Amino acid sequence: MSTRIEMMVNPGDEERSAILRPLRAHNRAQAGDPKPESLALLVRDEHTNEIIGGLYGEIFYRWLFIELLAIPEQSRGQGTGSRLMEMAENTALERGCVGIWLDTFDFQAPAFYERHGFTEFGHLDNFPPQHKRLFFQKRLVTASN
């Protein structure tokens, strides 16, 4: 087989999917079915029903990855974030997850995650410049661990 390498700036979903297909096939062959599942916990404005924040995550290989967590300004300090994290953890436990992981920036309240039992397992310096990107995990205690 002969190949060539091409660079594409701002590729679309089609290109991303084409790269993911062989990667997922290899991962499945090595580690089994990841049993992927997405979840969203939506924070809505009670009057307009508009989504104004929430939590989005994906479960695979028995870990919940929290990709997005956004608390609307008007809801901060009222326990909304804590309720979202508790609901996500309960969902992860119900689905048989062994842990939760996420990443955040040093200016996005990493102490919030520490208060919820997460520990840092890595970071990238100067990402963004003069800041850090932090990686956190929390192991869940289940009967099947």
Q: Residue 23: inside a domain, yes or no?
A: no
Structural domain boundaries, residue 127? 33-139
CB atoms within 10 A of CB 64: 25
Query: What does pTM read for this prediction?
Result: 0.90
Look up residue 89 and give its amino acid. E
Q: Residue 58: inside a domain, yes or no?
A: yes
Residue closest to 77 by CA, chosen among 110, 112, 44: 112
- The per-residue pLDDT for range 66-112, each reduced to its tens digit, is 999 999 988 888 999 999 999 999 999 999 999 999 999 999 999 99
Over range 105-128, report the average pLDDT.
Answer: 97
Q: Residue 134: inside a domain, yes or no?
A: yes
Q: Residue 20: inside a domain, yes or no?
A: no
Q: Residue 102: inside a domain, yes or no?
A: yes
Instruction: Name the band, by pLDDT with cuts 50, 70 and 90, for residue 144.
Output: low
- The per-residue pLDDT for range 1-14, each reduced to its tens digit, is 999 999 999 999 99
CATH number at residue 38: 3.40.630.30
Instruction: Name the band, by pLDDT with cuts 50, 70 and 90, for residue 141.
Output: confident
Look up residue 117 and give its amino acid. G
- The rounded mean pLDDT for the chain is 95
Tally of structural domains, the chain: 1
**Taking the alpha carbons of 122, 124, 21, 60 in that order, is the dihedral positive or negative?**
positive
